[in-house]
Chain A
Amino acid sequence: MIEVRNLQKSFGRRAVLQDVSFDVAAGEVACLIGPSGSGKSTILRCINGLESHDGGSITVDGVPVTPQSLPTIRASVGMVFQRFNLFPHRTVLQNLIEGPVHVLNQPVADASGRAMALLAKVGMTDHSGAYPRQLSGGQQQRVGIARALAMEPRAILLDEPTSALDPERVGEVLKVMRDLAEGGMTMIIVTHEIAFAREVADKIFFVDGGVIAEQGPAADLLSNPRAERTRLFLSRVRHPL
């Protein structure tokens, strides 16, 4: 469903992505892991056009990502941010219906009904009238996921969704993501939660230095990493001291 071919991206003279290729099929969960600055987030941001790419191609459901196709792409691919990026001047419910009402032109009543169902799904029904600043990080991120889902996307991209959370809040967000995976949502997740990736991901891409150094089924790659740098990275993540 999402096909990335020979993707290249530079910021100025610095090549961030050298030659990245991978496929994610409908219903699959793919996790991108790897050291900071390796280009994981940039890959996600290229898929929905928050960054333009310099070379190679990306297609979503057969539609190539170009400046002209961005409205189509963004309507079918949702995004969840590390720092939640909820609209601070709107309530939880208003955050959810913002896209459906003002991008997809749905009637407010219809969008609100669907939004309340989504809030129930992420356990935030009681907070529909709250403003983001009144919520904990974990609650904000659950709203962030619900906001992406409110657009009824074919896939969602999650950029380190638990990295900005207090440790005791990580679980509630992972649970929502696990439910989504079980519901068959196509997801690409940039994450440092290796245990979560092993449990939920169908595939794992290990990104290092702007290339995919190794890819494979989750259990396989995590248990028997073939590349030396994958092994090194995994041992550092598992044994930080």
Chain B
Amino acid sequence: MEAFLADAAQFLPVLLRGLGMTLLLTSGALIVSILLGLIWVLMGYSRFALLRWISRAIINVIRGIPIIVQLFCIYFVLPEWGIDLPPFAAGVLGLGLAYSVYQAENFRGGLSSVDKDLVEAGTALGMRWSVLMRRVVLPLGIPAALPSLGNTTIMLLKDSSIASTITIAELTRAGQLLAISTFKNGTVYLLIALLYLAASLPMAAGVRWLERRFARR
């Protein structure tokens, strides 16, 4: 135990820096995924069949490709076409893109829970599509999507470890390097697991809080 604590004290600064990078990466990817997810879902609600079709196609294609392959495509293949992104940008973009389809499905669930009668009330008042979305559908549908959005965020936090494969020094990669150089696999991976838990448990509490808050409405 004493040896573990001594090692932990030695490893923690490095791992905490890794955790910082993980949180930064997760936040960036979360923002990208929400923005893209909103775009996909609004396209899905468009009155133009082509836009609805494109939205469906994007969601099905991205959902069907492993995240690690998407990251490799962005980090290793795009440079061949002259688009050379630094690792962090590639990670944010790749994870954001991969998760945007789950966010789109979350939003779709929320938006489809909006009472059709309210859409009719807005329509009867003469609201255009954009006004209807902005004033009625989104303000009611997004709160309904928040609990599942929270779940997706926790999954994103854990899946951000995949970015370790494109040289981003986030928590998993920082730990891997430590484990390789010290051979203390047990200590290092236990610490990594605890740090992921420490980050995700408050999020889980946040999701529960959102669910309760939403159930009250």
- Asked whether, in the complex, the Cβ of A50 is within 8 Å of the Cβ of B136, the reply is no
- Asked whether, in the complex, the Cβ of B120 is within 8 Å of the Cβ of A102, the reply is no
- Asked whether, in the complex, the Cβ of A102 is within 8 Å of the Cβ of B127, the reply is yes
Tell me whether A50 and B120 are in contact in the complex, defined as CB-CB below 8 angstroms, given that A87-B136, A102-B131, A103-B131 are known contacts: yes
- Asked whether, in the complex, the Cβ of B121 is within 8 Å of the Cβ of A86, the reply is yes
- Asked whether, in the complex, the Cβ of B127 is within 8 Å of the Cβ of A88, the reply is no
Most buried by B among A48, A70, A98: A98
Contacts of A71 in B (CB 8 A): 126, 128
- Asked whether, in the complex, the Cβ of A87 is within 8 Å of the Cβ of B124, the reply is no
Query: What's the Cα separation between A95 and B124 when bound, in Å?
Result: 13
Query: What's the Cα separation between A151 and B126 when bound, in Å?
Result: 10
Query: What's the Cα separation between A74 and B118 when bound, in Å?
Result: 16
Which A residues are closer than 8 A to B by beta carbons? 48, 50, 70-71, 74-75, 78-79, 81, 83, 85-89, 98-99, 102-104, 147, 151
Contacts of B117 in A (CB 8 A): 81, 83, 85
Instruction: Please count how many residues in chain B sit with their CB below 8 Å of the partner chain's CB atoms.
Output: 18
Contacts of A48 in B (CB 8 A): 124
- Asked whether, in the complex, the Cβ of B126 is within 8 Å of the Cβ of A81, the reply is no
Contacts of B140 in A (CB 8 A): 88-89
Tell me whether A103 and B127 are in contact in the complex, defined as CB-CB below 8 angstroms, given that A87-B136, A88-B140 are known contacts: yes
- Asked whether, in the complex, the Cβ of A81 is within 8 Å of the Cβ of B121, the reply is yes
Query: What's the Cα separation between A68 and B124 when bound, in Å?
Result: 15
Nearest-CB distance from A232 to chain B (Å)?
32
Contacts of A103 in B (CB 8 A): 125-128, 131
Beta-carbon nearest neighbor of A131 in chain B? B217
Given contacts A71-B126, A74-B123, A79-B124, 5 further A-B contacts (CB under 8 A): A81-B124, A85-B115, A88-B217, A89-B139, A98-B122
Contacts of A50 in B (CB 8 A): 120, 123-124
Nearest-CB distance from A169 to chain B (Å)?
19
Could you list some 12 contacts between A and B, CB below 8 A? A71-B128, A85-B117, A87-B122, A88-B118, A89-B139, A98-B125, A99-B125, A103-B125, A103-B127, A103-B131, A104-B126, A151-B125
Q: Is B135 an interface residue when CB atoms closer than 8 A count as contact?
A: yes
4 A-B pairs closest in CB distance: A74-B126, A85-B121, A99-B125, A79-B124
Contacts of A79 in B (CB 8 A): 121, 124
Nearest-CB distance from B63 to chain A (Å)?
31
Beta-carbon nearest neighbor of A85 in chain B? B121
Chain B 96-132 interface residues, beta-carbon cutoff 8 Å to A:
115, 117-118, 120-128, 131
Contacts of B122 in A (CB 8 A): 87, 98
Beta-carbon nearest neighbor of A79 in chain B? B124
Beta-carbon nearest neighbor of A104 in chain B? B126
Contacts of B127 in A (CB 8 A): 99, 102-103
- Asked whether, in the complex, the Cβ of B131 is within 8 Å of the Cβ of A81, the reply is no
Nearest-CB distance from A79 to chain B (Å)?
4
Tell me whether A85 and B135 are in contact in the complex, defined as CB-CB below 8 angstroms, given that A50-B124, A103-B126, A103-B127 are known contacts: no
Query: What's the Cα separation between A151 and B123 when bound, in Å?
Result: 13
- Asked whether, in the complex, the Cβ of A98 is within 8 Å of the Cβ of B135, the reply is yes
Contact of B126 among A75, A85, A87 (CB under 8 A): A75
- Asked whether, in the complex, the Cβ of B120 is within 8 Å of the Cβ of A85, the reply is yes
Tell me whether A87 and B131 are in contact in the complex, defined as CB-CB below 8 angstroms, given that A71-B126, A103-B126, A151-B126 are known contacts: no
Contact of B135 among A81, A83, A102 (CB under 8 A): A102
Beta-carbon nearest neighbor of A82 in chain B? B117
Contacts of A99 in B (CB 8 A): 125-127
Contacts of B124 in A (CB 8 A): 48, 50, 74, 78-79, 81
Query: What's the Cα separation between A85 and B117 when bound, in Å?
Result: 6
Beta-carbon nearest neighbor of B121 in chain A? A85
Contacts of B126 in A (CB 8 A): 70-71, 74-75, 99, 103-104, 151
Contacts of A83 in B (CB 8 A): 117
Contact of A81 among B120, B136, B217 (CB under 8 A): B120
